[in-house]
């Protein structure tokens, strides 16, 4: 009996590339340094029929095709996070030079009154036996989170048009990217009043854990266009909440008063990494900067962690006429994403 070739867990890969035209598949020339679960979400119907068979007939049809890829939680890196942000907030393919010689910053504004332009992706996922692929990948949601003593974590969901078997990866020579993990302990926490400038007033010895959950609002448009897989997408409005766990100190007390009064706040979480290959005017290190404009929705009763009194709050990102809108900035040594 011939030896069967079996799938090997260690031989799994996830490859992808941004599409030039949404829904037009491209070769997947980038590698995702994480784990993911690809699901074929097609809808298969078995119609009821009076056909005289006790078990019923075997006629089936596919009413709709759809794909989803769960990017499982892993350490966030300065180099790969822009793929998620570009697909879930607004695409920026070329980094902005920081001064004359400084390296690159990528800014992802959540937006005001208009829709944003997100990038779509083609994906391949599989092992040494089975490779599956889909195009028109939209980042429908993502989460960034950090707890003391850990890395910043990232995860997300990509929805796509249709899963097909690829037979093999388009390219077997895709290079594993060099990345740097973002560490929660290096984060700094700032809180400023409405009308102020993000990152002005630091709140030391306050922030313990945080989590930013974003539903991007990018969704397929289910219209009849000659194909059982969707052909268009739009943005219907995003939802973003920042969950905070703080030491119960005078800063947390002030913020609880802001919650009671419904006072808008500007929160910045800034985490730096290694020095840039060329320091610039504004940045000398790789950076992740979250500028969150909004209001507190909830403030929980005090709790404790290892004998320390703590308090948890939920901050919803909202538009404010004087403070503008929220944004995420990533600074790294990458000149382009393409």
Least confident of 34-48, 137-151, 165-179, 264-278: 165-179
* Six-digit token string for 215: 């539903």
What pLDDT, on a 0 to 100 scale, did the predictor assign at position 59?
A: 94
What pLDDT, on a 0 to 100 scale, did the predictor assign at position 172?
A: 81
Contacts of 20 (CB under 8 A, 6+ apart): 26
Contacts of 2 (CB under 8 A, 6+ apart): none
What pLDDT, on a 0 to 100 scale, did the predictor assign at position 35?
A: 97
291: left (phi over 0), alpha (psi -120 to 50) or beta: beta
Indicate the average pLDDT of the chain: 94
Distances (CA, A) of 13 to 19, 128, 141, 282, 328: 19, 9, 22, 37, 28
What pLDDT, on a 0 to 100 scale, did the predictor assign at position 201?
A: 97
Is the pLDDT reported for residue 6 higher than 80? yes
Q: Which of 270, 265, 266 is nearest to 282 (CA)?
A: 270
Query: Residue range 240-267: average pLDDT?
Result: 97
8 A C-beta contact, residue 136 and residue 19: yes
Q: Which of 48, 62, 57, 282 is nearest to 164 (CA)?
A: 62
pLDDT band at 178 (very low <50, low <70, confident <90, very high): very high
What pLDDT, on a 0 to 100 scale, did the predictor assign at position 308?
A: 87
CA dist., res. 306 & res. 327, Å (int): 34
CA dist., res. 48 & res. 331, Å (int): 57
Q: What are phi and psi of 184, to 5 degrees?
A: -60, -40
Query: Residue range 150-163: average pLDDT?
Result: 97
What pLDDT, on a 0 to 100 scale, did the predictor assign at position 214?
A: 98
Radius of gyration, alpha carbons of the chain = 23
């Amino acid at each position: 009996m011939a030896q069967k070739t079996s799938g090997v867990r260690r031989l799994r890969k996830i490859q992808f590339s941004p599409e030039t035209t949404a829904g037009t598949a491209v070769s997947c020339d980038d590698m995702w340094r994480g784990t993911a679960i690809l699901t074929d979400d097609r809808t298969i119907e078995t119609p009821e029929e009076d056909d005289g068979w006790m078990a019923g007939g075997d006629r089936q049809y596919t009413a709709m095709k759809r794909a989803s890829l769960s990017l499982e939680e892993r350490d966030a890196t300065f180099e790969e996070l822009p793929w998620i942000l570009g697909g879930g907030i607004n695409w920026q393919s070329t980094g902005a030079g920081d001064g004359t010689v400084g390296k690159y910053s990528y800014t992802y504004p959540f937006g005001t009154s208009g829709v944003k332009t997100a990038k779509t992706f083609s994906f391949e996922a599989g092992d040494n036996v089975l490779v599956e692929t889909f195009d028109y990948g939209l980042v429908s949601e993502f989460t960034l989170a950090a707890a003391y003593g850990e890395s910043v974590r990232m995860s997300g969901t990509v929805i796509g048009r249709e899963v097909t078997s690829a037979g093999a990866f388009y390219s077997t020579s895709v290079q594993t990217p060099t990345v740097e993990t973002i560490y929660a302990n290096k984060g700094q926490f700032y809180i400023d009043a409405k009308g102020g400038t993000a990152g002005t007033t630091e709140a030391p010895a306050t922030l313990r854990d945080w989590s930013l959950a974003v539903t991007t609002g990018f969704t397929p448009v289910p219209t009849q266009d000659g194909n059982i897989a969707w052909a268009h997408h739009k943005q219907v409005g995003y939802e973003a909440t920042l969950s905070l766990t703080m030491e119960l100190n005078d800063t947390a007390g002030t913020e609880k008063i802001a919650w009671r009064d419904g006072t808008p706040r500007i929160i910045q979480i800034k985490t730096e990494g290694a020095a840039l290959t060329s320091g610039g005017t504004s940045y000398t290190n790789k950076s992740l900067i979250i500028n969150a404009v909004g209001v507190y929705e909830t403030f929980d009763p005090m709790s404790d962690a290892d004998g320390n009194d703590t308090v948890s709050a939920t901050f919803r990102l909202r538009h404010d006429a004087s403070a503008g809108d929220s944004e995420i900035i990533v600074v790294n040594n990458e000149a382009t994403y393409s």
